[in-house]
Amino acid sequence: EIGADVVVIDADSHDELVAVVSHVPHLTAGALMRIADDHSQEHRPLLRLAAGGFRDMTRIAAGNPGIWPDICIDNSDAILSVIDEVIASLDQTRKNIASRDKDALLKDLEHARSARVNLPTGVPVDIDLDVVRIPVLDQPGELASLTRLATEIDVNIYDLEIAHSSEGERGVVIMVVPAEKSERLVGGLMANGYRPSVRAME
């Protein structure tokens, strides 16, 4: 009745799956963040260079750490298994880099890209979508102004992302909207002083 997408699986399978898509990613984000912080003690500008990619990868490291020790112990078998897989994958990547095997590196990166592009979202698969990128000042109220404008001109936003610049003064708001209404959104944005760009969603 409320539109939820229900997935029914047994408890053991659930633990194995969430180790892959939740538990180990959180631990990996924490490891990356600790490494960066350790390096920043010697090179103070380092964290100021952290742009959207690093911030996206480590965002979950900012979550409440208090709940994670119990999760790790309770689901230790599945988590340890996935950690071993991550280590093996990185070890193979290390070997490919050391041997200067560009073909193997490209193959792995293309595999990862394809999997990421096809990651299920809440976006309908039966309509054409456009990605609208909007450069903005990194200041309070910008996001509210954009979403309010979209509401006023009857443009539904299926997905939204904010990418902050490393300089800290500007950012980019990325909106996924119906292709049939992207021109309307772009026109409204330009009328309000924004300079958006648009492309079809893959």
3-state DSSP of the chain: CCCCCCCCCCHHHHHHHHHHHHHHHHHHHHHHHHHHHHHHHHCCCHHHHCCHHHHHHHHHHHCCHHHHHHHHHHCHHHHHHHHHHHHHHHHHHHHHHHCCCHHHHHHHHHHHHHHHHCCCCCCCCCCCEEEEEEEEECCCCHHHHHHHHHHHCCCCCCEEEEEECCCCCEEEEEEEEEHHHHHHHHHHHHHCCCCCEEEECC
What's the pLDDT score for residue 17?
95
Q: Could you tell me the pLDDT band of residue 125, with boundaries at 50, 70 and 90?
A: low
CATH class of residue range 11-117: mainly alpha
Q: Could you tell me the pLDDT band of residue 163, with boundaries at 50, 70 and 90?
A: confident
Distance CA 86, CA 79 (A): 11
Is pLDDT at 154 greater than 70 in this prediction?
A: yes
Is pLDDT at 58 greater than 60 in this prediction?
A: yes
Give the position of tokens 């969430």: 18
Mean pLDDT of 18-25: 96
At the fourth CATH level, the homologous superfamily of domain 129-200 is VC0802-like (3.30.2130.10)
Distance CA 101, CA 173 (A): 37
CB 198 within 8 A of CB 143: no
pTM confidence score? 0.65
What's the pLDDT score for residue 181?
94
Distance from the Cα of residue 34 to its chain's centroid: 19
Percent of the chain with pLDDT over 70: 90
Mean pLDDT of 112-116: 88
Q: Could you tell me the pLDDT band of residue 162, with boundaries at 50, 70 and 90?
A: confident
pLDDT digits (tens, 9 = 90+) for 23-42: 999 999 999 999 999 999 99
pLDDT digits (tens, 9 = 90+) for 184-202: 999 999 999 999 999 987 6
What's the pLDDT score for residue 27?
98
Higher-pLDDT residue of 159 and 82 is: 82
Boundaries of every domain in the chain? 11-117, 129-200
Q: Could you tell me the pLDDT band of residue 164, with boundaries at 50, 70 and 90?
A: low
